[in-house]
Amino acid sequence: MKHFLIYCACCFAACAANAGSIHGVIRAKGKVDAPPASGSGSYASRRFKFVERINYDELRDFVVYIKGPIPDSKAPETPAVIRQKDATFIPHVLPIMVGTRIEWPNEDEVFHNVFSKSDAKSFDLDLYRKGDPAKVVMFDKPGIVDVFCSIHSRMSCIVLVLENPCFALADADNHYVISNIPPGTYQLTAWHERLPDKVIPITIKCNEDINLDITMGIQNLPKY
């Protein structure tokens, strides 16, 4: 038995040193039976003629991540950064591991305020502008943190605080890559602020590189 345990431990260490990865393209798709954006139904009326509807092909800021804690995961010591530039938070969505600090530099000549009332993190950095020291916030609890500026109503961003470092923010072409995933069976989760999460069971083997395209959409919602 002792030799068997040593063998298993050695195998696990070797697998951990040869972690796998997942990559692919993530996109969104509307309901198949949704009415056209214009030309029929209520959207043809004067009242709703200019109401904007979502173009699912244009959605960006998708996040793909491994759900739950992973042993020996550590948050980075270097802070992440969300800039305030041209009255906009950049990036609009930022996934981080729990325990990560974020700096909030103001690069505009006008004052901004950074605050959140979210359960996962509540804070208020008061007013400051370009040249003032960048404020820093530690995110010590997993969850979704909605962030706003109290002066400018259109300024908002989202910090997605996750339990491990195995995540990816898709690029401008909706490609994503998650590297250094320890071998094991996981719940791969696709997230977007305007869509229900999509959870995909997945098993990663040593040195395995999985190509997985993901399509998110409106489905399995309660019917009234």
**Best CA proximity match to 85, nearest among 103, 104, 62, 101:** 104
- The Cα-based distances of 201 to 105, 124, 160, 192 in angstroms read 38, 38, 21, 18
Identify whether the C-beta of residue 115 lies closer than 8 Å to the C-beta of residue 123: yes
Q: How does strand 209-211 pair with strand 20-29? A: parallel
* pTM, to two decimals: 0.83
Question: What is the chain's pLDDT, residue by residue, as a tens digit (224 residues)?
Answer: 433 233 233 333 444 568 899 999 999 988 765 555 555 556 667 676 666 777 888 899 999 999 999 998 999 999 999 999 999 999 999 999 999 999 999 999 999 999 999 999 999 999 998 999 889 999 999 999 999 999 998 999 999 999 999 999 999 999 999 999 999 999 999 999 999 999 999 999 999 999 999 999 876 555 65
